[in-house]
Amino acid sequence: MDAHGPVACHRDMRESDQSLVAAAKAGSRDAASELFSRHWDDARRVALATCRRRAMADDVAQDAMVQAFAALETFRGEGPFGAWLRRIVVTRALNALRDERRLVPLDDADAPVWDEPHVGDAGLARAVSALPHDQRVAVQLRYGADLTPPEIADALGVAVGTVHSRLARALAGLRTALEVADA
């Protein structure tokens, strides 16, 4: 952090990313490598929060990074590079999950559950897995990837109010499901 506080520090990081993007667009492998190194952990974290399975998350994050660097010319720099990349990761993750459902039809009893050991409460994991898709993704990005509602809105391409609504409905549904499970 510099003397101007966290906002100036964030702005410097964004400007730095923008200069790296410009250099990568001009053919600098070092700049592309630095962008990759700088954003890989976040891409993987978002993919894991969305997919909830390590192997799929690794594949999604790799695919998203390849797609992002192949489409680097389309990045206009109107927002942070990380937010642009995050949207690609979420889109790739949702597509991968959709493709998987097309290949293996699931009924409600076979709905995938989170396979992460840190979830802790198996009842909570089952309740989250049973949420409607849009609510489950919002919860996973908020609490699994620790994204803010504006970041989730940007990643999903929806309004912030939509994210708040999905989270509120999801939390109400979880509360009800967990109360019934306790009864």
Tell me yes or no: is domain 108-183 CATH 3.90.1150.10.
no
Q: CA 37, CA 20: separation in Å to the nearest integer? A: 12
- Fold of the CATH domain 1-105: Rna Polymerase Sigma Factor; Chain: A (1.10.1740)
What residues have CB less than 8 Å from 42, skipping those under 6 apart? Answer: 82, 85, 86
pTM: 0.69
All structural domains of the chain with their residue ranges: 1-105, 108-183
Q: Which two three-digit tokens encode residue 86?
A: 């995050």
132 and 121 in contact (C-beta within 8 Å)?
A: no
Dump pLDDT digits (tens) for 77-96.
Answer: 888 999 999 999 999 998 88
Identify which of 161, 153, 115 has the alpha carbon closest to the alpha carbon of residue 137. Answer: 153
Residues in the chain, pLDDT under 50: 1-12, 104-119
CA atoms of 178 and 183, how far apart (whole Å): 9
